[in-house]
Amino acid sequence: MHKVVAWSKRRGFIYPGSDIYGGLANSWDYGPLGVEIKRNICNEWWKRFVRDREDMVGMDGALIMNPRVWEASGHVEGFNDPLVEDKKTHERYRLDHLLEDAGVKNAEAMSLQEMSEKIKELKLKSPKGNELTEPKMFNLMFETYLGPVKNEENKVYLRPETAQAMFVNFKNIINTTRQRVPFGIAQTGKAFRNEITTGNFIFRLREFEQMEIEYFVKEQDWEKQFEYWLKEMHLWLEHLGISKDKIHDLEVPKEELAHYSKRTVDIEYDYPFGKKELYGLAYRTDFDLKNHMEASGEDIRYTDTETGEKYVPHVIEPTFGVDRTILAVLLEAYNEEEVNTSTRASTELSRTSSAQGGDIRVVMKFPKWLSPVKVAVFPLLKKDEKLTKKAREIFENVRNTYAAEYDEGGAIGKRYRRHDEIGTPVCITVDHDTLEDDTVTMRDRDSMEQKRVKIEELKDELSKILNS
């Protein structure tokens, strides 16, 4: 994990937030390459789950919604975590996590009273070894005020999930599209939670991004649809290049279900710090639509066009955290490989040596569609104007279709290494032969194999490799 964190900063993927001011508790900024990965993930998700399907529509709701939304959804009342404080250092901790670390099972499902008794029974101390305060519930929603007057009337919340905008717009969408049950609404965007403890890099953040689907079904179909979406989520993980053996479905016990859910499966990933939730799939019943209908007084029932029946649809919710996806993708892609002389191209140099004296290369083996840069174009020598002119020509041509970089700095071997480190699938080198026979060297990131390709066939070759 520490290697991936260091690599992320070094290679311009993820920086500590507000870095020059010493950072801000677990806030991170995506750099030039990180934002490309993030966009590739969100765009691919959108294409797969919205554009390529006839039963899905997208939307993009406001971050700040009418606070009555959060009353109706149960978040004002129930979106709480149990908090304790170290009496000496005044550091705050999530009590269910402390109890689980002390071997207590299902701590999340315990009442405040039960947790308080457990503290006494186990003589539980803070991680610093000090006495703990009595636990209390802490609401995770960030509060702010609309307009210049900071009073209760103007209090609003930053959304803790993207989901609610999709429920609140259900009627609008039914009235303005031709969608009929079963169908889904999708949204991607930021969510905010004032988590008591954060950590593990971009795993638990206070500001993070979600990609969510609310899929509306007839009540009797919920089980079938739940199974269908579970499979879809696994296929998406496969597409991301995540190893199957690192993914586990956790059937959330009844006592631990969120206030809106009748069944939830957490899809967990083997992070280096343990098996933790990556995504979730929940059967939200008709909880949200019903509550919004009651609280707003608006009839948001759906009318079956064939039977004329009016009813409130039930909801299957597949939810995907973007930052947790990126963390899993980086961990999967990060490889250190010993490069022996038989596999290393003669022009390739290395900067690091293994314990056995071989060369080590860091290579990010992203699925090709995910790589931030798809093609790098190099002139063999920076000082040879004929080579740089030709390389620039090829670069300008390629970048119309693919995210490409022109790179003329340093020895060619170093340039290969630099692009291995950011996961560029193809490097193209223009050398003196190019000027004679209009061919270039094409080098593959994973095998490091090089072959000569005619410039006129370059686009076809790239399309074969990058769309495979």
Q: With respect to ligand GAP, which residue has the nearer C-beta, 40 or 319?
A: 319
Q: With respect to ligand GAP, which residue has the nearer C-beta, 208 or 302?
A: 208
Shortest distance, CB of residue 194 to ligand GAP, whole angstroms?
10
Please state, in angstroms and rounded to a whole number, the distance separating the CA atoms of residues 99 and 83. Answer: 12
Q: Which pairs count as long-range contacts for 252-257, CB under 8 Å and 24+ apart, including other chains?
A: 253/106, 253/109, 255/106, 255/109, 256/106, 256/108, 256/109
Please state, in angstroms and rounded to a whole number, the distance separating the CA atoms of residues 404 and 393. Answer: 13
What's the CA angle centered on 422, arms 419 and 424, to 5 degrees?
Answer: 55
Q: With respect to ligand GAP, which residue has the nearer C-beta, 324 or 361?
A: 324
Shortest distance, CB of residue 281 to ligand GAP, whole angstroms?
9
Contact 69, 168 (CB under 8 A): yes
Shortest distance, CB of residue 166 to ligand GAP, whole angstroms?
9
Compute the CA torsion angle 261, 265, 270, 271 (nearest 10 deg): -20
Shortest distance, CB of residue 221 to ligand GAP, whole angstroms?
21
Q: With respect to ligand GAP, which residue has the nearer C-beta, 49 or 208?
A: 208
Please state, in angstroms and rounded to a whole number, the distance separating the CA atoms of residues 357 and 341. Answer: 12
Please state, in angstroms and rounded to a whole number, the distance separating the CA atoms of residues 183 and 81. Answer: 33
Shortest distance, CB of residue 324 to ligand GAP, whole angstroms?
4
Shortest distance, CB of residue 326 to ligand GAP, whole angstroms?
10
Task: Give the number of other CB atoms < 10 A from CB of residue 435.
Answer: 13
Encoded tokens for 104: 């207590």
Shortest distance, CB of residue 171 to ligand GAP, whole angstroms?
20
Which residue, judged by CB position, is nearest to ligand GAP in the bound state? 321
Q: With respect to ligand GAP, which residue has the nearer C-beta, 202 or 362?
A: 202
Distance of CA 206 to the CA centre of its chain: 14
Which residue's entry shows tokens 């700040």? 64
Q: With respect to ligand GAP, which residue has the nearer C-beta, 5 or 362?
A: 5
Report whether the peptide linkage leading into residue 425 is cis, meaning its omega lies within 30 degrees of zero: no
Shortest distance, CB of residue 207 to ligand GAP, whole angstroms?
8
Q: With respect to ligand GAP, which residue has the nearer C-beta, 221 or 256?
A: 256
Instruction: Report helix, strand or coil for 349.
Output: coil
Distance of CA 175 to the CA centre of its chain: 32
In sequence order, the β-bridge partners of residue 271 are: 274
Q: Which residues bind ligand GAP (CB under 6 A)?
A: 161, 163, 193, 195, 204-205, 208, 210, 212, 277-280, 317, 319, 321, 323-324
Conformation bin of residue 308: beta by default, left when phi > 0, alpha when psi is -120 to 50: left
Q: With respect to ligand GAP, which residue has the nearer C-beta, 139 or 210?
A: 210
Shortest distance, CB of residue 92 to ligand GAP, whole angstroms?
15
Shortest distance, CB of residue 399 to ligand GAP, whole angstroms?
33
Please state, in angstroms and rounded to a whole number, the distance separating the CA atoms of residues 421 and 270. Answer: 23
Q: With respect to ligand GAP, which residue has the nearer C-beta, 163 or 363?
A: 163
Q: With respect to ligand GAP, which residue has the nearer C-beta, 83 or 462?
A: 83
DSSP states of 244-295: GGGEEEEE--GGG--TT-SEEEEEEEEETTEEEEEEEEEEEETHHHHHHHHH
Distances (CA, A) of 59 to 138, 156, 162, 173, 187: 31, 22, 10, 9, 5
Encoded tokens for 56: 């899905």
Task: Give the number of other CB atoms < 10 A from CB of residue 132.
Answer: 17
Shortest distance, CB of residue 322 to ligand GAP, whole angstroms?
8
Q: With respect to ligand GAP, which residue has the nearer C-beta, 229 or 395?
A: 229
